[in-house]
Amino acid sequence: MAFDNSKQAPASGGDNAASAPDDRPVRPKRPKKLARAEIAEIFRRLRDANPEPRSELEYVNPFTLLVAVALSAQATDVGVNKATRPLFQSVDTPEKMVALGEDRLREAIRTIGLYRNKAKNVIALSQALIDKHGGAVPADRAALEALPGVGRKTANVVLNVAFGQPTIAVDTHIFRVANRTGLAEGKTPLDVELGLERIVPAEYRLHAHHWLILHGRYICKARKPECPRCPIADICRYEPKTTPEEMKTARTT
C-alpha cells in the first residue's frame, strides 16, 4: 500500500494555491521482526569479528569461575579481576575458601561493590559444594541455582564457560542489545533469554551470549551506541542511528 507523503501548503492567494510536494526520499519501512536470514547474518558477522570469544573474567577452574561470576554482580569485570587475581593464586577450591574464612575474604574483595554480602555468600556456597557435591561444581542448572548467591544468570555463565553448554546468560548488555536490535524483545531478562533461545541458530548458540555481551559493552553502549562502526547497523532495527557527528560530540563531553 502506497502512502502519500506530500504536505498541503496553507491556502493563500485564492483557490488556485498549489500543493507543495515534499521531495525528501521516503525510507521504506522494514518489518519490526527480524527475518531468519537476518538473524543468521547478525551472528555470522559477530563470529567473523571475534571467532573465539572468551569471558573477560579471570579464573583458573570451574570453582574460581563460579566465585568470579558471583562477585561480578553490580561490578565490572576489571574490578573483580583486580581483587581475585591475587586471591585465586592461593584460594582455588571450596575447601581453601572455607579455610580462608569470611573475615579474610571480605578484606580480599573489599574493593568490589556489596563485598560484605558477597563474602558471606561465597563462603556459604563453598561449604554447600563440599557438603552436597564433594567439592565439585555441578554441571546442572538446578543444582547451581540452589547454591547461596547463585541466580540464573550466574548459573548460565558457569554452564556455558566451564562446561560448554549452549546457555545464554542475559546481563544488562544482552538485555539492551536484544531489545534494541530486534533480536529478542522482552520486559525481563528471562523473556529475552527464552526469546534468544528460540531464534539463535544452533551453530551460533555456544558463543552467542559472549558475542552479544561484548557487542553491548564496546559498541552498542547504553548512553550512546556507536552505530557508525557497528558491523550489524544495516540489519539492526534501532532508530534513530547514532551519527558520526554525535559520536564525536559524545567523546568530547
Residue 100 sits in which domain range?
62-163
Residue 72 Cα distances to 43, 68, 90, 133, 138, angstroms: 26, 6, 20, 23, 20
Q: Decide if 149 is inside a domain.
A: yes
- pTM (2 d.p.): 0.83
3-state secondary structure string across 145-183: HCCCCCCHHHHHHHHHHHHCCCCCCCCHHHHHHHHHHCC
Catalytic residue among 4, 23, 153, 191: 153
Q: Would you say the C-alpha torsion 40, 41, 42, 43 has a positive or negative sign? A: positive
Residues 6+ apart with CB under 8 A from 35: none
- Residue 153 known to be catalytic: yes
- Residue 171 known to be catalytic: yes
**Dist. CA 65–CA 59, nearest whole Å:** 5
- Counting the structural domains of the chain, the total is 1
Low-confidence ranges of the chain (pLDDT < 70): 1-31, 250-253
Residue 15: predicted pLDDT: 40
Q: Decide if 124 is inside a domain.
A: yes
Residue 77: predicted pLDDT: 95
CATH number for the domain that contains residue 105: 1.10.340.30
Q: Decide if 28 is inside a domain.
A: no
Q: Decide if 102 is inside a domain.
A: yes
Residue 93: predicted pLDDT: 98
Q: pLDDT tens across 6-51, in order?
A: 333 333 334 443 444 445 444 555 567 899 999 999 999 999 999 9
Catalytic residue among 15, 171, 241, 248: 171
Residue 33: predicted pLDDT: 86
Q: Decide if 46 is inside a domain.
A: no
Q: Decide if 246 is inside a domain.
A: no
Residue 32: predicted pLDDT: 74
The number of angstroms, rounded, from the C-alpha of 22 to the middle of its chain's C-alpha atoms is 42
**Dist. CA 169–CA 157, nearest whole Å:** 6
Q: Decide if 249 is inside a domain.
A: no
> Long-range CB contacts (< 8 A, 24+ apart) of 195-200?
196/168, 196/170, 197/168, 199/34, 199/36, 199/39, 200/39, 200/43, 200/168
Q: Decide if 20 is inside a domain.
A: no
* Element (DSSP H or E) covering residue 117: helix 115-133
